[in-house]
Structure 1
Amino acid sequence: MAMPTDAPDRNPADQKTADPSTAGRKVADCGDVDLRHHGDSEVGGGLADFAVNVRGGTPPAWLAERIRRSVGDLAAYPDPGPARRAVARRHGRAVEDVLLTAGAAEAFVLLARVLAPRRAVVVHPQFTEPEAALRAAGRPVERAVLDGDFKLDPGRIPPDADLVMIGNPTNPTSVLHPAAEIAALARPGRTVVVDEAFMDCVPGEPESLAAAAVPGLVVLRSLTKTWGLAGLRAGYVLAEPPLVAALAQAQPLWAVSTPALVAIEACCEPPALAEADVWAREMAAERDRLAGELALRGLTAVPGARASFLCVHTPGASELRERLRGRGFAVRRGDTFPGLGPDWLRIAVRDRAADNALLEVLDDLRP
């Protein structure tokens, strides 16, 4: 793992990427899309929120109460020890393998600052913050763009890539890649970063690499989505101790607040894990029902969705999105995800009543 002495003093937007034709693979350069556009930009003004992938009705009362009680300890500096040990137990890792972060977004920034990749490749379509963080740190970035069913194609990854970043299950496509295929991307001299922010949407987490001892593998997790903690910022990194130590050196002191530490510890306890698994199973059934209903209305979801949202294709999606806003419903535009375009939308899965309300409006809007 190479460590930079300081960042390049040039605009990352001006950097050139390797010629994709030399790789013989579909590796695109950094095009002009708004990498900083996220679902929270779509909501507000009383709109029903189908744009943000945070579980509704959260945080649950028991978790909110734990967080409220932590306010009594705010005079003391945060102690990450208990939460770090809880994460290690939850995934069967050594404590030295764990770094707590202010959400997964902070982890992307730390990785971009600490790693000095010669050829960084981000597998798209996926969450755009990994690429945005690399570019902000002055790192040249290439895109390995998946298409068709958006399943992982290792042939799209240049053999000399020394940093590969991928989501699993992937935002926005909701595709779950086999753990073995992601692990097989690892090789000497390469760091593979897998964003598992939505892995707890998958009952039993069969494709998680959080407990895997694979050299060069980095797993990121977030509590934002399942537990409704976007405003608290709580996540963590699982990696080999030397990289964890390097990331910790780059991290500001006391980066994770006491309330966030309490939440991390609480959400790693067995009752919380059991609750999350029950929700994941119920959500999966509703997601599959919603996908079928949307298909009847001309919105075709990417097959095999496994996360708490659907990535749907329909001609004129941009116009449909605006018409839905006019009727009080916010859905996520797809054209700011590299590899998608104006005929794509991302729709969060809510409860049956909320989803039915969306379906009724779609029926009204049909020509």
Structure 2
Amino acid sequence: MAAMHTPTDADGPDLRHHGDAEVRGSGLTDLAVNVRAGTPPDWLKARIAASLDSLAAYPDGRTARAAVAKRHGLPPERVLLTAGAAEAFVLLARALKPRNAVVVHPQFTEPEAALRDAGHRVGRVLLREEDGFRLDPAAIPEDADLVVIGNPTNPTSVLHPTTVITQLARPGRALVVDEAFMDAVPGEREALAGRTDVPGLVVLRSLTKTWGLAGLRVGYVLADPETIGTLERAQPLWPVSSPALAAAEACCEPTALAEAEQAAQRIAADRAHLVAGLTAFDEVRHVVGPAEGPFVLVRIPDADRVRERLRELGFAARRGDTFPGLGPDWLRLAVRDRATTDAFLLALGEALQG
């Protein structure tokens, strides 16, 4: 069964370390950041550029909010636009008052960091390698009044069934599901975005990953109107810029959704190619699967040394020891096109031999 752990402020890995630190200013081929390569597309850049003519006016998020609501079949009062999913985690930590917050790890570390920065006591439920890093609802303490889980989970690439996640819902509990990578899953199967029948459900989405908008900072929260109102009151005025609002509206249009689905299909094929190449190495002890996100998690003995050797050979990989529940033998690898993957696999073979 997954283990429950309550860390101290000085306990464990660096929660503020993210993949961009692996590539910033390095010139390396990037397998450390989970943003889709070759983005944003030209049509999206044109829409963002056109919004610059309106910069003299304060941002008006009503049209973008309505577009997001329509995309998920919800009324606008169930939508809050944010400066990326990271802002949403900060708003949740500051505006909600959990007595017993629990974060399911390994996963994106910003939710726990935001909760701890806001002064909350945070418990960790650590999913286990031998269970495939899959969720056991019984591992969540019954008195937890805020639970955070990613789906598909960064960094494990595990896609948890909605039938399992919804078992965590309770009256009086906020169930926060980070779906930042769900649009990279073909058909968005197991998505909870748009559901209104799950008590306390809060879904976070990001436009960063599929559309390559990390520098623009745009995402959104889907929740009941009362929770949305509480979070909105915690936001500063005009939190999302006009260019980001233009991007949010554009990415919810039918042609954009169709493009995202095509990209998800390509990612699935490219991921299968990467996994097949990785499993050919005896030194790669575990490729977590079935992987469903635009990245894979692997365990390689002495992975720290392998990662440094890969850097010498021109490739950046994401270290795993900054994720609670993992350690120095883990690497996360972003899915790239086949030519990039083939070049990486050659470099990995050299790094392993070295």
- Scaled by the length of structure 2, the TM-score of the pair is 0.96
Deviations 1:230-255 (A, max 9, x none): 00001000000001001000000000
Contact 1:25 1:158 in 2 (8 A): no
Contact 1:104 1:220 in 2 (8 A): yes
1:216-255 equivalences in 2 (<5 Å):
216-255=200-239
Out of 324, 330, 333, the residue aligned to residue 319 of structure 2 is 333
Q: Which amino acid aligns with 1:90?
A: R
Answer yes or no: is 1:358 the counterpart of 2:344: yes
Equivalence for 1:114: 95
Contact 2:12 2:324 in 1 (8 A): no
Answer yes or no: is 1:269 the counterpart of 2:246: no
Contact 2:127 2:134 in 1 (8 A): yes
Contact 2:2 2:136 in 1 (8 A): no
1:1-367 equivalences in 2 (<5 Å):
26-30=3-7, 31-43=11-23, 44-147=25-128, 148=130, 149-213=132-196, 214-297=198-281, 298-299=283-284, 300-367=286-353
Structure 1 Cα separation of the partners of residues 335 and 28 of structure 2: 15
Contact 2:273 2:338 in 1 (8 A): no
Structure 2 Cα separation of the partners of residues 46 and 109 of structure 1: 31
> How far apart are residue 32 of structure 1 and its match?
2.2
RMSD between superposed Cα atoms in Å: 1.0
> How far apart are residue 25 of structure 1 and its match?
6.7
> How far apart are residue 256 of structure 1 and its match?
0.2
Contact 1:100 1:235 in 2 (8 A): yes
Contact 2:2 2:127 in 1 (8 A): no
Distance 1:25 1:67, change over 3 A: closer
Structure 2 Cα separation of the partners of residues 176 and 102 of structure 1: 25
Contact 1:113 1:137 in 2 (8 A): yes
Distance 1:37 1:25, change over 3 A: closer
Structure 2 Cα separation of the partners of residues 366 and 343 of structure 1: 13
> How far apart are residue 364 of structure 1 and its match?
2.1
> How far apart are residue 26 of structure 1 and its match?
1.7
Q: Which amino acid aligns with 1:321?
A: R
Contact 1:223 1:264 in 2 (8 A): yes
Structure 1 Cα separation of the partners of residues 337 and 307 of structure 2: 20
Contact 1:103 1:233 in 2 (8 A): yes
Deviations 1:213-237 (A, max 9, x none): 1120000000000000000001000
Contact 1:47 1:329 in 2 (8 A): yes
Contact 2:125 2:140 in 1 (8 A): yes
Structure 2 SS opposite 1:366: helix
Any gaps of 5 or more consecutive residues in structure 2? none
The size of the alignment, in residue pairs, is 344
Contact 2:15 2:110 in 1 (8 A): yes
Structure 2 Cα separation of the partners of residues 289 and 154 of structure 1: 32
Deviations 1:58-86 (A, max 9, x none): 00000000001100000001010010000
Structure 2 Cα separation of the partners of residues 266 and 143 of structure 1: 37
Structure 2 SS opposite 1:210: coil
